Amino acid sequence: MKVRSAIVFLALAAAVSAEELPRKTKAPRESYPNVDVIYGSVTMPDGKRLHSIITKPRAAKEKLPVIFLAGWLSCDSVEAPADTKDATGLILRGLAQTPGFCLFKIDKPGCGDSEGDCSQTDFDTELAGYRAAFRALKNYDFIDSDRVYIFGSSNGGGFAPLVPETESEQAQVRGYITIGGWVKTWFEHMLDIERRRFALMNLAAAWSRVKVPALILHGQYDWIMSREDSELIAQIVNANVPDAARFIEVPEMGHGGQHYLSMADAFAGKEAPFDPKIIRIMTDWLEQRQKKPAK
């Protein structure tokens, strides 16, 4: 009887962890032609529930690989409604409509519809949320959790390899994509507490454990993170597996995928119309990875 009760409890807990959270914003929900959008939640170890948004091709008949987002430093939501003008949001919308792939996003504690206080969220708490979301991938019957591609944007482009914590979780990852990632320059423009966090994160060591393909992108007009950081990430991965990582300096791109016509425009925040070439670079790479047999 106790075993049966435990099974029922676990089943209910799983159901609760995936329920949709109360809406905090009046912004429109995400929607796409021929794509299912699933709003839900992931429960962190401390009990906080994080807002999740999952997309999958509507006509999918089998389990699909998934693009898992490791997000940025700010408290901006990962939600990308149809009327977004934000470059990162437009990239995420492009990924959501990539044939043959699911996309999994969560809002950090206190962001979007997630529970918690973003201003009080430290790195360990943020990472625990991403790890809980990564482990939740196995709960969805349309996601192939053994074919995960982690997309690290900005700050997430540095800590992405810390998300899969165990060796078995690391084996689920088929590749990484980063935009504006980092391994060292945070030392130069953060306060002492950030210096201590950096020492604890040891991102160079984390990337040195990556042995799967990686697409490392840096914008020509990214003045927030240096080209040297992204090149170093690629060098570290290639030291493990020759030619596993590909570095691309994307012309006229800013830190978050924005389109600028000059560095001066980037400093001033004067964006040109969004250039979808960044989405093509990413989706072409993903499609190539799927055509190659896993090693």
pLDDT in tens, 225-244: 889 889 999 999 999 899 99
In this prediction, residue 25 carries a pLDDT of 81
Which has the minimum average pLDDT: 111-125, 186-200, 248-262, 280-294? 186-200
d(CA 274, CA 279): 11
pTM exceeding 0.85: no
- List, for residues 21-53, the tens digit of each pLDDT value: 999 888 889 999 999 999 999 999 999 999 999
Q: What is the mean pLDDT of residues 169-185?
A: 88
Percentage with pLDDT > 90 across the chain: 74
**CA-to-CA separations, 51 to 23, 41, 115, 223, 231, in angstroms, rounded:** 10, 5, 8, 31, 33
d(CA 180, CA 254): 8
- List, for residues 45-89, the tens digit of each pLDDT value: 999 999 999 999 999 999 999 999 999 989 999 999 999 999 999
Which has the minimum average pLDDT: 51-60, 220-229, 269-278? 220-229
Burial of 12 (0-12, 13-18, 19+ CB in 10 A): exposed
- List, for residues 153-175, the tens digit of each pLDDT value: 998 999 999 999 999 999 999 99
Q: Does 292 or 241 have the greater pLDDT score? A: 241
